[in-house]
A and B are shown apart, each in its own frame.
Chain A
Amino acid sequence: MVRFPKSLTPLLMVALMALLLAVLSACASPQSTFDPKSDAADSVLTIYILVTVVASVVGFAVLAAMVWLIIKFRAKPGVPARQIHGNNRLEASWTIAPILVLLIIGIPTMFWIAGTAEEPAADVLEVEAVGHQWWFEFTYPGMGPDGGDLITANELVIPVGRDIRVTLHSDDVLHSFWVPQLVGKTDMIPGRTNVLETFNVYEPGLYYGQCAEFCGSAHALMRFRVNAKTSANFSAWASAHNSGPTAPEPGTAAARGALGFATCSGCHAISGTAAQGRIGPDLSLFGERSTLAAGVLDNTDANLKAWIADVRSFKPIPEGARFMPAFNNDTVTTLDDGQIADIAAYLNSLTAK
């Protein structure tokens, strides 16, 4: 009979787990759920670690028991199997034991769920997020010019140290709003209003977010950033947003681009200008953003020009989907490289100064 060392199975597992834990610590990811930067993500991580420890202890214990059993009771000549049919007391005990273990993780779970029903602080910042195929729109009710809406896209700007409550909608299919370091995900569903768990960011920084519900061909490229600023910087950003851009120096590329932007204004808006299209992302203070194309490309002049010229070389937009045309080769409006460069210069001139 082949005498395979059966113990290899679980030992291998243990070794693999250890290896992977090592890998985990080596893998710093901007979307790591084990690197929380807000109170909400922190409270989840506490339970996450508890649950992981409980599951690992149970898992290793059962694997160890199995290893011991298969070594101890491997067939030996002259030793017959003992014909045991069961043991009621033992079976009752291993029915009750899992219940007790489950209480360890179940009770904190229930407390956490109860906590989600709590009201946020009075100075909570309310934001509405709308998912579109394949970008995010953010609206700050009452923070816009004349008490209207302040609207931006793909980079959610928020103050640190203040409760943030995001209500979620979708304009088309399902999406899901997820910023792993700040808050767990909640789905964006057409016709429904969901409310994200309230969160309060610890420190200024740029946090990665991503759509977490499959939403069609470009789902993988529907990302965004959360730009957490100090309270003062946040206010400065909002007022710059509302006051609109100062007219570019005449004769510059940006000035030509401002005129050329008329091509874009049917779909895109820039606060404080004539451009008020609401089909595509709002581009106010575009020069302040770190990324373009919904968190996919670094916001550089070269990327911006290439994006305007041909979005389809960056994103898999299916035939017939409502999305920006490729302006280097559009049937209605074609822009030459110079015109595209002007518009890019204009967009990147839109900064808070």
Chain B
Amino acid sequence: MAANTGILRRPLAPVGIWAWMTTVDHKRIAVLYGVTAFFFFLLGGMEALVMRVQLASAESTIVSAATYNAMFTMHGTTMVFMVVMPAGAAFFNFLIPLMIGARDVAFPRLNAFSYWLFLFGALLMNFSFFMNAFPDMGWFGYAPLTSNEYTLSSSTDYWVLGLLIMGIGTTAAGFNFVVTILNMRAPGMTLMRMPVFVWMTLIVAFLIIFAFPPLTIALTFLLFDRFFDTNFFVDIGAGSDPLLWQHLFWIFGHPEVYILILPAMGIVSDVLPTFTRKPLFGYTMVVFAGAVIGFLGFGVWAHHMFTTGLGPWANAAFAATTMAIAVPTGVKIFNWLATLYGGSITFKTPMLFTLGFISMFMLGGLSGVMHAVVPVDSQQSDTYFIVAHFHYVLFGGAIFGINSGIYYWFPKISGRMLSEPLGKLHFWLMLIGFNLTFMPMHILGVIGMPRRVYTYAEDMGFEFLNQLISAGSFIIALSVIVFTINVVRSIRQGEPAGDNPWGASTLEWSIPSPPHHYNFAVVPTVRSQHPLWDENANPVLPPALPAHDEPVMPDPSYWPIIVAFAITMVAGGLIIWQAHAIAGLTVIASMGLLGMRGIFGWVLEPMEDEAHVSVHH
């Protein structure tokens, strides 16, 4: 084989650690996202359990206030940015090319780069734990508590820099998926023939592109306030404003809620037809409702700020827009229910989680409408009622939807079925644990327990409900153990899945499980929304080609991980600089150079090495 010029030889082995670190295959990147998200799910879950142990008794001293505050800060940050978002990204990555009949995403190396930035950003933020600087100012980071005056350690620096780095990766992924979905669909895959999951991904990708800039701006301002003594959020006399942070954060933060929930809505919209054996009721309405939700999602942010004294006009306007967003959400729920009508429903685990999603998310939506009512919010805001609400949306919604997707597509990803009895046990334990944990929180909010308190007095009457909640949280933990056993067992000895174990209708089920690295030997031609149902007699795919005619796919590349590493270490250098200027500047400079070298390497690297093409590896 011809020698590869350049410092690093391109790794062409299909297995082993180097293959994973340099992969640009969307399916492998999906697995990386999924495994990483699950790791952080366990971590964030343990942070939640620490809180539940602490709150199980009044005036408890099991953990300190500082520890508790760090736990709720990192639980929120972890679950939002390191669990639900990357879990969504795992599904986008695995499914979008398969569903639209493409061989990969538009920018495979950028895709790898997104993942590595996410991983390194998350690791950087969590590294603070070992530096005794775990962020403890809340996942919302309200100014001026985040300023140098009130945060003496570098905890907030880790938080800001970690989020900024993850945000770069997320934004890149947003562009990647917009371009992929708009440009790489197979012949005949018109927009209105795309599975709903593809539609929801497209909307999420646009939301990311528009919602992350405000967050990036807010974080950069805060970074400058902290590192360079600028004055965006702190010294009011000098013209800054702590409320500016809240506006920027929630202009990001509310669309972010839809970034978290729309993928789950897409999942259940594709699971329902398979297990009712009929098409989704009102496909067009479900798609448009998703787009309307995404659009309105940018106009409701101040409902997070009803208690900040914006005044009657702003409160009335944002109450109205917030109520309006319930309409397209309701349309979706009704269309899902109508899909059940006339169906031939089988209750496999993915379907159970989908039904769990619809019912639990609906309850979360209704409590959300309650907060839109400004007077009610003046009592509910910053109480456990809010905690109950967004867990019904983000756990009962997003996590149930993601679980449905895992049980549904795991056979496609791994080639093996998950166990149905264990899956059902997982579902029921999670449903019961979930409701035992989060239903009583509504009541706690009504009787006046504020959020983010590490303790409460005995005479407040909060203790019994908190004990129920803590018990429930351990049932959830048990359900996660059952799930883990199920996955490990299935990978070792699961029943082989075959191409289409559920009898589903969309393109990804037309190819082997797991798919070849090039997905489709011949790009299919699509003639309907449900190609595998409508064309049983006339298969969409010709038989696979002999191996030497396999499509040539982009080769692996070192550069994405190198550039992502360099960017993360520049951020790490900034933190080191706070403690030791010379060491910090050295790290920044050397890693900056490495990053520059990486970008040049990336730019100049051919998609496939000539040697590789001629040998047909």
Q: Which residues of A contact B (CB under 8 A)?
A: 1-2, 4, 6, 9-10, 12-13, 16-17, 20, 23-24, 27-34, 41, 43-44, 47-48, 51-52, 55, 58-59, 62-63, 65-66, 69-70, 73-76, 79-87, 90-91, 94-95, 97-99, 102, 105-106, 108-110, 112-114, 116-117, 133, 168, 172-174, 176, 178, 180, 183-187, 189-192, 194-195, 197, 208, 210-221, 296, 316, 318-320
Contact = CB atoms under 8 A, between A and B. Distances in A.
Given A85-B281, A186-B378, A219-B452, A47 B337 contact: no
Nearest to A180: B448
A318 B145 contact: no
A118 to B, nearest CB: 10
* Listed residue (A31, A90, A114, A195) with the most chain B CB atoms within 10 angstroms of its CB: A31
B257 interface: no
B150 A190 contact: no
B307 A187 contact: yes
B359 A98 contact: no
Interface stretch (B182-190, B339-347, B607-615): B339-347
A116 B337 CA distance: 40
Given A91-B331, A95-B330, 8 more contacts: A2-B421, A44-B378, A70-B340, A87-B338, A98-B326, A186-B307, A191-B242, A221-B455
Contact of B448 (A32, A91, A102): A32
B440 A20 contact: yes
Interface stretch (B367-375, B484-492, B540-548): B367-375
Contact of B381 (A212, A214, A319): A212
A47 B373 contact: yes
Interface stretch (B22-30, B160-168, B457-465): B457-465
B342 A59 contact: no
B498 interface: no
A279 B203 CA distance: 53
Given A16-B439, A90-B338, A176-B382, A73 B449 contact: no
Interface stretch (B84-92, B218-226, B314-322): B314-322
B296 interface: no
Contacts of B136: 217
Interface residues of B, number: 105
A174 B376 CA distance: 21
A73 B343 contact: yes
Contact of B144 (A33, A110, A190, A220): A190
Contacts of B327: 95, 98-99, 102
B359 A9 contact: yes
Contact of A66 (B312, B347, B358, B380): B358
Name the 5 nearest CB pairs between A and B, nearest first: A31-B448, A184-B378, A191-B236, A220-B453, A316-B65
A187 B435 contact: no
A84 B446 contact: no
A221 B453 CA distance: 8
A2 B378 contact: no
Contacts of B142: 173-174, 213-214
B340 A66 contact: yes
Contacts of A82: 278, 342-343
